[in-house]
Each structure stands twice: as C-alpha cells, then as structure tokens.
C-alpha cells in the first residue's frame, strides 16, 4: 500500500513526502513532477496551452499507474481530490493523509512561486480563500489530517511516522488495508 499526501498548495506535501520516504525507506514520487516528465512541459505550460481539464486527465492516469505500485510515498497536486475516482483510487490502494495550513501561511509559502497557474491571479489572497472554502469537503475525505502551519518539516514527518507506523511494507499490488485490519 502507498501513502498519499494530499492538501492545498504550499502545505508541504513534497518536502515532507521526500523526508518521510527516506525515513521509511520507501520510494518517493511527486505526481506533479511525473506529469511534467511525461508531458515534457511544465505545469504552467500545460494549463496555458491545453487547460486544466487536460491536466486533470493526465493527473488521473498517472495516479492510477502509481496506485499499482507498493510502498510509495506520493505527494499529490492540490487539486487531485476534486475527482471522486481519485479519492477512491487512493483509499483503495493506500492511506490518504491531508496536510493543511492557514490561508495566511499558504499565501506566505506560495508567494514566490511562479509554477502554480491557479495562483497566478491579480489577487492570490482572495483566490486562496475561495479555493480553500470550495475544497474543504474534498480534503475532509482524508483519513488523517495534520495542520502544518506552525510545524517544521521534521515535526510533520515525525507525526506522519507515528500515524503510518502500523502500515507494514506490502508485497502485493493493490494490497488492501481491510485485509490487514
């Protein structure tokens, strides 16, 4: 089974995911990076030339591919939860954990980024508030949540290690958590 880190942009999924994978001696994959590699374009270009629905299609296809693997820590893009099928895929093949942060903290952490097309707007503060509100029920689908606002990467990783301690390395693809319980 895999560990899927979901949550809004700037909540630390990639930096935390990388460290968590190192500690657990699991593989790490950043789904956004995988999309860029597969499409040979960066996310901003994909959004600009082909639009968000096209991006979501590749995102879903690659999530499905990764879900066949085992013992992967997967850092997901912030919008992955918008598709019900994606939530089902994650829950069936692993544990979905949500990282969160306050709107102010997200604004601070994402301010310098030019690689997030959804935040390249005149008023990112308003956009963050709007998207957070709209996405709250989707993020609430996660089995566990960690507020990373006042935590270092190391502190979040330690919490995740505790949460995921009971997950044994799996040997079979599509390892079912129910079977383990």
The 107-136 site mask, x for binding ligand S3P (CB under 6 A), equals ---------xxx------------------
**Residue 9 is a binding residue for ligand S3P (CB under 6 A):** yes
Closest to ligand S3P by CB, 55 or 175:
55
Closest to ligand S3P by CB, 101 or 175:
101
CB of 169 to ligand S3P, least distance (A): 26
Residues paired with residue 147 on neighbouring β-strands, in sequence order: 100
Q: Inter-axis angle of helices 103-110 and 124-139, to 10 degrees?
A: 120
- Kindly provide the b/e burial profile for residues 133-155, where b requires at least 16 CB atoms within 10 angstroms of the residue's own CB: eebeebbebbeebbbbeebeeee
Closest to ligand S3P by CB, 56 or 177:
56
Other CB atoms within a 10 A radius of the CB of residue 120 amount to: 14
Q: Residues 24, 26, 27, 28: is their CA dihedral positive or negative?
A: negative
Closest to ligand S3P by CB, 27 or 42:
42
Q: Can you tell me the distance from the alpha carbon of 57 to that of 136, in angstroms, rounded to the nearest whole number?
A: 22
CB of 15 to ligand S3P, least distance (A): 10
**Residue 138: strand, helix, or coil:** helix
The 34-53 site mask, x for binding ligand S3P (CB under 6 A), equals ---------x----------
Residues of this chain that bind ligand S3P (CB under 6 A): 9, 13, 32, 43, 77-79, 116-118
């Amino acid at each position: 089974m895999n560990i899927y880190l979901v949550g809004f942009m700037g909540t630390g999924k990639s930096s935390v995911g990388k460290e968590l994978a190192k500690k657990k001696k699991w593989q790490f994959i950043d789904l956004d990076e995988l999309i860029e590699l597969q499409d040979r374009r960066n996310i901003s270009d994909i959004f600009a030339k082909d639009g968000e629905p096209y991006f979501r299609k590749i995102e879903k296809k690659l999530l499905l591919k990764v879900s066949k693997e085992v013992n992967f820590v997967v850092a997901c893009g912030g919008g992955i939860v918008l598709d019900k099928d994606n939530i089902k895929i994650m829950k069936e093949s692993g544990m979905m954990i949500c990282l969160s942060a306050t709107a102010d903290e997200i604004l601070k952490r994402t301010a310098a980024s030019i690689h997030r097309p959804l935040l390249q707007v005149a008023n990112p503060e308003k956009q963050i508030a709007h998207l957070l509100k709209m996405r709250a029920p989707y993020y609430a689908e996660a089995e566990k949540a960690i507020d990373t606002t006042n935590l270092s990467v190391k502190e979040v990783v330690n919490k995740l290690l505790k949460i995921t301690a009971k997950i044994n390395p799996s040997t079979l693809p599509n390892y079912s958590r129910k079977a383990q319980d």
